[in-house]
Structure 1
């Protein structure tokens, strides 16, 4: 009983030390969604425009935030208009928001032409969503988009959890290893399949690619912080390397404040928090610090 009490005190002291040692600098959110019309909200309460997100960012200390849109198959004119709108929304507040544009892999040559146009406009990141866009990561069309993004210097942000595709993480391994000059961010870190993302760390140890892969912890952070799986989640993050982990809120699914509170609960050191909350995004996306 005395030993249990002593261990409890040590754990409490450790938690307190991490809280006191928290990173308090500027924060970058790489995963927040922009609603442009009544047809493209993530949920019924998703506000139009950027005003609501700007207010939430201010409250949470988020300095810069992504604005994500998602392209629909076979609607290339609408895709172009959507991409132009998100670029304009970001440009309206320089240094505050950055656009995350999108194409659909099934749009073939039209998608590649749109990527070339977007790169000339200064876009840095492209959103691809296997669920919403209903494509398979192993589809050759996805590899074609990856090759084009590598050539154009565009970072790809993929949602990495598809409940009905148990092989998806393996498909991402093949895609990323086959496209070593492309840069991939796997959003939600595999979510309930996060154990499998450790594969990337093991492959890197034996010199098999994966130096081109990062993970954002939107949604998964708020799910596992404070849970019985927190220790394993954090252990996996550290195996991958906290220099490969990015902060995201997945707004409007979670607020920036809720996502930040989850990161604070994980017990990361101040230097690890700085990597996750700021430095990694600056380095990967070439943002102004």
Structure 2
């Protein structure tokens, strides 16, 4: 796939006329201008039905379509994007739903139809709550449907997996094994999870998907200390070259939000360097219903104390389901 080039510009230091007469001005070192990312690994589309379901009395959401997303990508100079289905939300335990699985299938199919309108730009990833009994059936259905990309977003609608519930852990293991057998990238959304959840991922889940990429993503809650603790555990494992981390990629751009303190920014960059910039992905991860655009999300990411070479490396990284 064509890559967006990294442009270089040269700035020359101009001395005053008197000083220039005495000695020639020394050129300033060339400064790299990092292009926008080739791909956005974390965008959403959602149907009118899903928008109504996720709306509350104080926050009404509207549908998000591919037709709206494409101009945002164009403005940012981003070529490709993964559009993630929000079908998993129908698994929320606090809501009583008739025909829950039917609604999950319908939302996943709606996302696929949106991506199909721009097949050269968008790839749809279906989603499912991995704790649901129908998770394996939906994974198999998505894997067999060419309208979906070779990946699936797994996110427990309740926010996480209960560590001391062996039945829950075993269910997610089965989903990991099924994705591995079908060659599907796993996009795992971590939310409200801490260090123990990260250890669960390393010790009990990753060994069951050794042959496929696992993209670990975070929510937009940049100051969420449990998520920071989870990132620390995973980054430490990557730094010591734990073989179970061999195919793990990190979508950490959700942490890089406007207003991030300098101390937190330095801490995040240290973790990214532990992981290695060749395994850090850009994803806007725009909060559903918010106004932040891909261009603004990348600008926030560029405010991190990264070198130009590091930012350029992240900008050029592309997961296999988007190639």
Per-residue CA distance 1:103-154 (angstroms, 9 max, x = gap): 222333x322221221122332211223x34451652111111111111111
Structure-1-length-normalised TM-score: 0.80
**Which residue is equivalent to 1:214?**
249
Structure 2 unaligned residues grouped into runs of 5+: 1-27, 92-98, 164-168
Structure 1 or 2, whichever has the larger Rg, is 2
Matches within 5 A, 1:20-59: 20-24=31-35, 26-37=37-48, 38-40=51-53, 44-59=60-75
Specify whether residues 239 and 215 from structure 1 end up closer, same or farther in structure 2 by C-alpha distance, changes over 3 A only: same
**Which residue is equivalent to 1:249?**
284
Q: CA RMSD in A?
A: 2.9
Could you tell me how far apart the structure 2 residues matched to 1:49 and 1:17 are?
44
More helix by share: 1
Shift of 1:235: 1.0
Of the candidates 184, 191, 216, which is equivalent to residue 161 of structure 1?
Answer: 191
Matches within 5 A, 1:1-289: 20-24=31-35, 26-37=37-48, 38-40=51-53, 44-70=60-86, 71=88, 72-73=90-91, 75-108=100-133, 110-122=134-146, 123-130=149-156, 132-136=157-161, 138=163, 139-162=169-192, 167-174=196-203, 175-188=205-218, 192=225, 193-204=227-238, 205=240, 207-222=242-257, 225=260, 227-251=262-286, 252=288, 253=290, 254-279=292-317, 281=318, 284-288=319-323
Contact 1:146 1:182 in 2 (8 A): no
Per-residue CA distance 1:163-213 (angstroms, 9 max, x = gap): 6x6632222222224542343211128953335424334434254411121
Specify whether residues 77 and 47 from structure 1 end up closer, same or farther in structure 2 by C-alpha distance, changes over 3 A only: closer
Specify whether residues 267 and 228 from structure 1 end up closer, same or farther in structure 2 by C-alpha distance, changes over 3 A only: closer
Structure-2-length-normalised TM-score: 0.72
Structure 1 unaligned residues grouped into runs of 5+: 1-15
Could you tell me how far apart the structure 1 residues matched to 2:215 and 2:184 are?
11
Shift of 1:273: 2.2
Q: Would you say how many aligned residue pairs link Structure 1 and Structure 2?
A: 266
